């Protein structure tokens, strides 16, 4: 090139050759640099992918470990709740169980002959109670709205309260044994066929020291048995000598208390209706023992002239 510029016989071909060689060298160098940059970029991308994969796997493992650690304290609670739910579900009536007798049990909530007393005010009032109970049972079974169930429940409460009040007024009017000088405290303290059995009209006139002595004996008896459940039991014996006004009124209080508890169960709506079904079954047999025993014991002191034939009362059933 220098010779060509100096005019020493160089021609244009030589210049073009040199130019072409330089251009080829530059192109090849550029291609090598591009390939190097491409390889480096791909290497960095692969490295980034691997790092990201490892990070994701690591974070997932850490999260899973944290979930396991945090869930361990809840295991017992979940198992217990599941067990309770399964037991409640088992209590729900199925179509098969209802077809084999569950519906028949509901029909048994009537004044069967063994509950009849022949005393119209007593039998008629109890029939109203059972009719209100059947209406509530049907509302629960048909899964009516809470407002409808509450209305039926309130009718049962009102019918029960009215009948029990009428019975107690009638007992006081007839001076049923144990009704003389009676107080609410004495009613609450009477046992289920325990201390109340020893009280009659004549016993009300005994000396206070003797009464205190009997009270102490009863207290010792309860302490020795150490069975607090007896204080809330209903006497299953129909012997008139094991009932009086105090024990009878006490059973009224217990039934009304149980009815209040069942009313609270009817308001539970977070267990798929299991509590309502349990309440329904308890309502069916709530009055049976009292109607079959305490009411019969009281009816035994009512003169036969005031009674009617049981067949007349059962016509409504």
The reported pTM is: 0.57
Q: Which has the higher per-residue pLDDT, 202 or 28?
A: 28
pLDDT at residue 211 tops 70? no
pLDDT at site 316: 43
pLDDT at site 309: 60
pLDDT at site 73: 75
pLDDT at site 267: 87
Residues 193-202, mean pLDDT to the nearest whole number: 44
Handedness of CA 283, 288, 290, 296 (dihedral sign): positive
Handedness of CA 157, 160, 162, 165 (dihedral sign): negative
pLDDT-wise least confident of 133-142, 219-228, 235-244, 265-274? 219-228
pLDDT at residue 87 tops 50? yes
Confidence of residue 312 (pLDDT cuts 50, 70, 90): very low
């Amino acid at each position: 090139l220098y010779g060509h510029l100096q005019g020493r016989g160089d021609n244009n071909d030589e210049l073009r050759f040199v130019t072409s060689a330089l251009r080829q060298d530059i192109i090849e160098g550029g291609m090598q640099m591009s390939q190097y940059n491409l390889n480096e970029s791909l290497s960095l991308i692969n490295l980034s992918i691997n790092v990201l994969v490892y990070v994701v796997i690591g974070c997932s493992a850490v999260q899973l470990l944290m979930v396991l650690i945090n869930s361990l304290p809840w295991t017992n609670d979940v198992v217990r709740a599941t067990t309770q739910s399964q037991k409640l579900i088992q209590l729900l009536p199925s179509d098969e169980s209802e077809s084999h007798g569950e519906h028949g049990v509901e029909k048994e909530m009537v004044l069967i002959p063994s509950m009849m007393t022949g005393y119209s005010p007593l039998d008629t009032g109890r029939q109203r109670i059972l009719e209100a109970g059947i209406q509530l049972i049907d509302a629960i079974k048909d899964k009516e709205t809470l407002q409808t169930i509450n209305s039926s429940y309130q009718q049962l409460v009102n019918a029960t309260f009215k009948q029990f009040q009428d019975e107690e007024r009638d007992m006081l009017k007839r001076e049923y044994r144990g009704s003389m000088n009676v107080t609410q405290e004495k009613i609450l303290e009477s046992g289920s066929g325990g201390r109340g059995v020893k009280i009659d009209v004549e016993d009300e006139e005994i000396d206070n020291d003797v009464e205190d002595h009997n009270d102490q004996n009863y207290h010792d008896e309860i302490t020795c048995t150490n069975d607090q459940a007896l204080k809330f039991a209903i006497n299953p014996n129909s012997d008139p000598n094991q009932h009086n006004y105090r024990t009878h009124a006490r059973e009224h209080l217990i039934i009304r208390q149980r009815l209040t508890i069942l009313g609270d169960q009817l308001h539970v709506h977070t267990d798929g209706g299991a509590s309502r079904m349990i309440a329904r079954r308890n309502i069916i047999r709530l009055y049976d023992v009292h109607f079959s025993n305490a009411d019969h014991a009281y009816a035994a002191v009512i003169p036969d002239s005031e009674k009617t034939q049981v067949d007349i009362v059962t016509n409504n059933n």
